[in-house]
Structure 1
Amino acid sequence: MSRVPETSRKSTEAALAAVQRYADNPSAFLALNAGNELFVGDGGELVAYREAGRFFIQFGGVFGPANRQEAVLREFRKYARDRRRTIAGIQLQRSDAELYEAAGFVLNQVGSSYSVHLPEFTLRGSRFMKLRNKISRAARSGLEVREVAFADHRAGVEAIDAAWLRAKGRHVKEIEFLVGEIGGPVQRYRRLFLGQLDGRPVAYISYSPAYGSRSGWLHDLSRRLPDAGPGVMEAINATAIQTFSRERAEWLHFGFTPFTGLDASHDMASRSALTERFLRFLAEKGDSDYPAGSQLAYKEKWGPQLVLPEYLAFEGSASLRAVWHILRVTKSM
């Protein structure tokens, strides 16, 4: 096994094949983000990570067949050890967490992911009245939503991004390791829904494919102009849901939100009490470091039927230093 440069076209194709074939994590497509380093096994298995200090910060678990994951993890640990690096993982699913715990890692729940089962989804009923009103208000403002090709609307998308960043201020922190991107060699697999007012692009949502047992789409990167008006993002997502439902997609995943849904029922036997207290402190601290509350509110308004815990993994033992490096690499702090 060997690490291959993330800039290599061959490595990107190998990583894509591993995600498509083996990944059961709805956010697995994010492993293909630019800036990730890739450890590719002899059988095409994948581990995606970034380096931070003496740590390899790994995203997700081992993307490979179940009967190979233990061996690939062992090889990746040797690769890290030979380079005097310690592994710390983030956004592991429960099955990943159990594999890593058996290998001696310490596991703590760090947040939750939220998903809607599209065949059951409806906006009818009093529960969704406010959501319907917001969507209707956006439509009355003249908003037009359609699926477009990024290559044809690059300038408009980049203008939205620039305005969004300016509005957030110079201290804005995007969790770039845990959210998607637009462009690059795998853009053709993503889908882009654009909202326009009088022909002017005002907002967009990019969706990434989700594979595995809950296949469908991941509600990924979303941006809007500050003056886009209320209900714009909801109207765009509603249009995408209609499209995906017509195509008989099974799931729309809203992805991972850190520091949410922390519950003792999800605890692993190996958990670190110190890390647990620190994560609960961050959860209670609210939006001052990361807007978990506003993200959660947006996701919950769609009535997700599935909420799953996601985990941090620490090789050997947990430490606040390891947690700090994870949060720094993901720009959660």
Structure 2
Amino acid sequence: MNRRALSRMFGSALCFSSLASLSFVVSTQLASAAAQAVGGQAPGYYRMHIGRFEVTALLDGTHPFQAAKLAVGAKPGEIDELLGDQELKSPFEGMINAFLVNMGDRLILIDTGAGNLYGKDGGGLVGAIKAAGYAPDAVDDIFITHLHEDHAGGLMLDGKPVFAKAVVHVSKRDAEFWLDNRNQDSVGDLLKPFFPAIQKVVAPYVATGRFKPFDGEAALLPGLTPMAAPGHTPGHTYYLLQDGAQSMLFWGDTVHMQPVQLPDPDVAIEYDWDVPLAIAARKNALAIAANKGWWVAGAHVSFPGIGHVRGDGKGYRWIPANYTLNR
């Protein structure tokens, strides 16, 4: 082979090598661009049944807080130790859960999340409802466990009422307490801002005659019964959903820190209106739910917040619902 042929061959090889290198660089850059993280989570919902009733857990958001700072009555180091037992630490990320129940003839919502009242930590309820196949306008009734920002705040979003036709139900005792500014003197600085915030979000429903407090423990709908559980607030209320042999207890703010307050139910939280009453209500709810084998739906238990409680020594343990596609 002469020198000119060798030169052409060598040049072609270099060209091919350069093109191959360029192709590798370009494809690598494209692959890198295609693999960029999107971030965020899908709107949270989880579905199951209690008898004929379809229950959909909805995630409004998550709210990190300094667990040891807000805990009341804990032993030194207890909060960090109990969180550590589940590979957790402060700030503890509490859930803001709500629950949609399709009763066949009515669509009801238990609690509404925080809406805008917790900033970026809330406001996901509407997206979760829509992702679950429903619409806020389809909700007939809303049952609030208590009038705290992260349970009633979602009645409004971006300054507008969210639920066009729903009637809002809450215990008369809680309504009378939080809608009367004279009661601000009976709470600490942590709870004082709740008064104007709650009054604002319920105002459109009051104005349209769709705010109806109830008194007593008579069934509110066939299959749905309120249970008075004062302590966390004056009118804190559980709702017991039952059909046939199946039951689910929606227990509101009975537990804020499941890894802490189940093993030690005597630990309270600064948001409790009456600490001894709140502790007594928690112990009662845990004992009944464990004894009867009820499903529990917790507003601040790790999403979807549905599970069972079982006795464990002097305390209790949480058994979360097993994820399934066959509900």
Normalised by the shorter chain, which TM-score bucket?
under 0.3
> Which structure carries more relative contact order (alpha carbon 8 Å, separation 6+)?
1
Larger Rg: 2
